[in-house]
């Protein structure tokens, strides 16, 4: 299997785990020094322990989460994987209505043998139509 195929599989695995609110799988796909910054975390969340705490809290307050990649792009160069594009994010906090958002994202992953780990993910809001 090519590195790009494994990168795509890892990304798909993260999307599925996040949508299932599977904390341990989400954290297992992160590098120990991972940094997450964006629409869910207005200040950077750095390191696996901080990611675990942040996403545990996020998953606990939402009864429904679904991420749908719309146009992911993948590039592999010298053991570095880049993934970018946009996502449709559906969330429903407990006792509130379900909402849908469009988000841009970019990620950097690093490769260990045949395993990819997320080192960085940044997200930003996309403009919503009226």
Residue with tokens 């045949």: 114
pTM: 0.92
The sign of the CA dihedral 37, 41, 43, 48 is: negative
Choose among 59, 39, 17: nearest CA to 101: 39
pLDDT tens digits, 65-78: 999 999 999 999 99
State how far the Cα of 88 lies from the Cα of 1, in Å rounded to an integer. 28
Domain that holds residue 116: 3-125
Each residue of 34-51: pLDDT tens digit?
A: 999 999 887 899 999 999
- Compute the mean pLDDT over every residue in the chain, rounded to the nearest whole number: 94
130 within some domain: no
Counted domains in the chain: 1
The pLDDT value recorded for residue 83 is 98
Say if residue 118's pLDDT is above 60. Answer: yes
The answer to whether the CB of 27 falls within 8 A of the CB of 48 is yes
What values do phi and psi take at 95, rounded to 5?
70, 15
Q: Is the pLDDT of residue 4 over 90?
A: yes
CATH code for position 42: 3.10.450.50
């Amino acid at each position: 299997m090519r590195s790009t195929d494994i990168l795509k599989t890892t990304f798909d695995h993260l999307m599925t785990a996040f949508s299932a609110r599977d904390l341990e799988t989400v954290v297992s796909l992160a590098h120990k020094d991972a940094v997450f910054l964006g629409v869910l975390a207005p200040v950077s969340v750095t390191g696996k322990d901080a990611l675990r705490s942040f996403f545990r809290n996020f998953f606990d307050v939402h009864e429904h989460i679904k991420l749908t990649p719309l146009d992911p792009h993948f590039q592999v160069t010298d053991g570095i994987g880049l993934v970018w594009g946009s996502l449709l994010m559906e969330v429903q906090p407990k006792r509130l209505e379900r909402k849908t958002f469009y988000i841009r994202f970019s990620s950097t992953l690093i490769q260990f043998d045949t395993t990819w780990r997320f080192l960085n993910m940044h997200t930003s809001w996309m403009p919503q139509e009226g």
